[in-house]
Every structure is written in C-alpha cells, then in structure tokens.
Amino acid sequence: MDIDTGSASGDTGFAHPLLAWLADVGAGIDAAIECPTLSLPLDQYEEAMRQLAVYEARLASLRLSLTQQAELIEVRKLTGAANTAGWVRQVTRMGRREASVSVRLAKALDQTIRATGQALSEGEISLGQAQVIERAIRRLPNDIDPDVRAEAEAFLLDSAQALDVDDLDKAGKHLYEVIAPEDAERRIGKQLEEQERRARENRTLSFGPVRDGMGTIFMRLDVPTLAVLQALLDPLARPRPTGPEGPDLRSSERRQADAFAELLGQAQAAVDAPTRGSIRPRITVTISYEDLVAWLGYGTLNSVVTDSGPTHLKVRTQAGAGGSDEDRSGPGGQALIGYRITGPPLSATLVRQLACDAEIIPVVLGGDGAVLDLGRGTRLFTSSQRHALAERDGYYCHFPNCRRPEKCTEAHHINHWIDGGTTYLNNGVLLCQHHHTVIHTKGWTVRMGDDGHPEYIPPPWVDPYQNVIRPNDTTLIRH
C-alpha cells in the first residue's frame, strides 16, 4: 500500500495511518474527559485508574518508539536542533534533563532491554518502572556476561509486578549484588576506594562574610569525617534538663550550632590543642577601658596581633624608660608595639564573658588609643585550679539542675578580673557555656556562699522573691 506522509490537514494526499489513529484516540480522550465521573460507581474507580495507567504506558511506548526512529533518520535536521533531545524538547516542551532521559531510554528499549520495551508496550509496567530498569541495567559493568544481563532484566521485570517505582529502584541498586555477589563485592570495593579518595581530595571549608554578628561556614566533608563530627556533636546537642529557667526550647538546628560552639571551646582548651609557633589557639579583642568597666560599647575582634596591618597599637610606658627614640612618642613614652587587624565588633558584655575562661587576649585601650593593658592567658584558671574547683563543687556545671560534665565547662570569675577579681579558688565556679552566658546576660547573680560553695540569685522575672539557690543544698534560703 502506498502511503503519503504529507500533512493531515493538506488538500492533497492522505495522512499516515498513525496520524489518523492518533486523531481517533484524541476524539476518544475528548469524549472520556467530557464524560461525567460523579456517576462512576465506587467499585469501578480502581478499574478506571488501572486502565488509564495501562494506556499511559502504551502511549509512552509509542512515543519512545517514534523518538528512536527520529534518532535513526535524524529528523532533528528539519528544525536545526543540535541533537534528538533538543528536537524532543522543541516538540514536547520537556525539560532538558527529561528530554535526554527520554532519548536514552528509547535507544535502550530498542537495543539492550527489548523485553522491557515489550512489557511497556503491553502496559505491564509503567514508564517510571521502565526508566528504573534502564538505569539499573546501565549500572552493570560493560563486560558482564549477556546471559547475566538478560537474567537481571528478567528479575526486575518480574519484581515490577509487585513493587512500585521507589521500591523497584532500591532493588535495582542492589541488583548486581544479587546476581553476581562475589564480583560485585570486588567491584564495589574498588568503586568505594576511588569514591573515598575523591571525597578526601575534595573536602572544602570556607568562611563567608560576617553580617549582623553572624558568619557562615561552608563545609563539604567526606563521610568518615562527617560521621566523627556528628558523633562528637550528638551528646553535646541533647536538650538541657528542665531547671530554674524552664524547659529547653531550642530547635534542633540551634542545639547543633550550640554544640559545635561548645566543641570548639573544648578543642581550644585541650592540653594537646594545635599550636602555631608554640602558641595555643587564641584571638585578640581590642576595647576601651571605660567600655569594658561600664559594660557598655563594644570591642573589635582580631585574629592576631601581627607586625603588619592598618592600625597602630601603642602601649603606655614610664617616661624615658625602655625603647629607642624612634619607638617612643609623646609624653608618657608611648611605645609602638605593632599593629592590629580590625574585625567584627563584639559587645562589651560578651568581651567580659569571653575573657573569663577563653584564650582571648584583651587589648585594653585608654582614651588616646594607647594600650593600657595587654591581657595574657595567665589570668585564666590553671588546670590544677579547675581540678580543685571540680573537687569543691562537683565534676559538672555548677548551675542549679545542670549536670554538664566538667570537660564541657568554663571557669567563671565570680568577681570579674577587670573589676579587680583574682584568679583564686574562692572567686571561681565551673559553668557550661550556656549557663556562663546566662550569668553574664540574663540577670542571674552568682556569689560565694557562707558554706564555701557558690550560690545563685535568680532575676525577679524568674523568681519574684529572688530566693537564693544553693545547688549543694535542697533548701531555698530567703534572700
């Protein structure tokens, strides 16, 4: 029979039978869409859905067959498309990825997984299942025996009768382990070694800009490193027990972030913490003396005090003592000791808290910008003193109802060092990072009690009577 492949709407020739059949299908679909479904009996809904799924699969099979034929005869040249996927996108308005997957599946159904193509054309599997089978077979090694490949396809086609797309995809991922377990173990081992090598080489960590007191870290970690980090954070990120402040209302993301901050504090305080030039990790904060004493204003966070940077640092010395003429200027002998790198601002309250028990070197400036005091780590409680504090009050955070272990605590100066407080046992208490912040910012007061142990006075919005709380005693003492 002679067939004219001209336009169905043309005045001459005949339309191809496929186009005539599709026109009939379209008319049937129009009728089905216009048919009221409210009158469909409840027990026939399932049959209607199954029939629609079968027809969708068969139409998809027809479309893929047409796609493969268009690939073979290079129909794309009629429209100037770069490839068949581009032509499919033009005609069907598919996305780039969907069109590429469609062309690849059409080729596979015609050449490598013909049994799957047959099942799709008969409506025995869905288009999604066919895509899963193609993907699973494509994952198999190129040198696998053809009989094993055919067996794998048959296994997936049989499984598709009972599994949905998601479960079939899981079966496809483990397919090679099922049909060739010994070879799969060897190949998977090599693949994992290569994957792990690439992951280690591609680990990245970068810091984003600081805005509104917040900075951002971008990390891409290999699985073992990520697992270690998660294992370290998990015990630190657990909700705090209900105490005088009430229940822990932090979100899981906030608890993870707080745990990460606590982990960094532990790492910095560790005996074997990493050093640079024999100096343990530390940062510098520059602040005026008036702001530090009055709990007002702010300081500037600096990473290091170096010999290069934009702003001079001068320290006040006795007149005429020490240093050369070039190193001293003005009355009182202000000697240039270096420069500072300006950074993000920190409130005076936070500077006072950090200076309690962190490797923070406070550079306290006078009104003329000269350094009045270059604080040093010796103001911090020593390891022996921390041990003594733990022996006195217990090996945990001393705040009421908190039992964070001693290794997670910071040594707080009851009377702050800038206010004349000394680094002695009767002026210290071990507090976890959270409750250290509470003492500095939430209106709580800690003082040394008559029994030689710290005691706490809550703010009036927590307890209107401000009863004294002694963690080592179950009684409340009226203040």
Q: Give me the pLDDT at residue 290, please.
A: 66
Helices and strands, counts by H and E, the chain: 16, 17
Kindly give the residue spans of alpha helices, DSSP state H, lying in 84-206.
84-92, 96-111, 114-121, 127-139, 146-159, 165-173, 175-179, 181-201
Q: Give me the pLDDT at residue 291, please.
A: 65
Contact 249, 434 (CB under 8 A): no
Whole-angstrom distance, CA of residue 130 vs CA of residue 253: 40
DSSP, res 423? S
Contact 335, 258 (CB under 8 A): no
Q: Give me the pLDDT at residue 267, please.
A: 79
Terminal CA-to-CA distance of the chain, rounded, Å? 108
- The token pair that represents 374 in the structure block: 């270059």
Alpha-carbon torsion angle 88, 92, 95, 100, nearest 10 = -30
Residue 311's alpha-carbon distances to 283, 337, 390, in angstroms, are: 17, 11, 42
Q: Give me the pLDDT at residue 127, please.
A: 95
Whole-angstrom distance, CA of residue 118 vs CA of residue 58: 10
Whole-angstrom distance, CA of residue 361 vs CA of residue 279: 12
Alpha-carbon torsion angle 166, 172, 173, 179, nearest 10 = 150
Taking the chain (479 residues) in runs of 10, the rounded mean pLDDT of each run is 43 73 89 88 92 94 95 90 92 93 95 95 95 92 83 92 92 79 70 78 87 86 82 86 82 92 79 49 63 66 42 41 41 42 65 62 52 49 77 86 84 80 83 88 90 91 90 49
Helix (H) or strand (E) holding 20: helix 17-34
Give the DSSP letter string of 48-115.
HHHHHHHHHHHHHHHHHHHHHHHHHHTGGGGTT-SSHHHHHHHHH---HHHHHHHHHHHHHHHHT-HH
- β 360-365/283-288 pair status: parallel
Contact 126, 53 (CB under 8 A): yes
Whole-angstrom distance, CA of residue 244 vs CA of residue 413: 22
Whole-angstrom distance, CA of residue 428 vs CA of residue 242: 25
Per-residue b or e along 134-156, where b marks 16 or more CB atoms closer than 10 Å to that residue's CB: bbbbeebeeebeeeebeebbebb
Model pTM score: 0.43
Contact 87, 81 (CB under 8 A): yes
Kindly give the residue spans of alpha helices, DSSP state H, lying in 338-382.
348-356
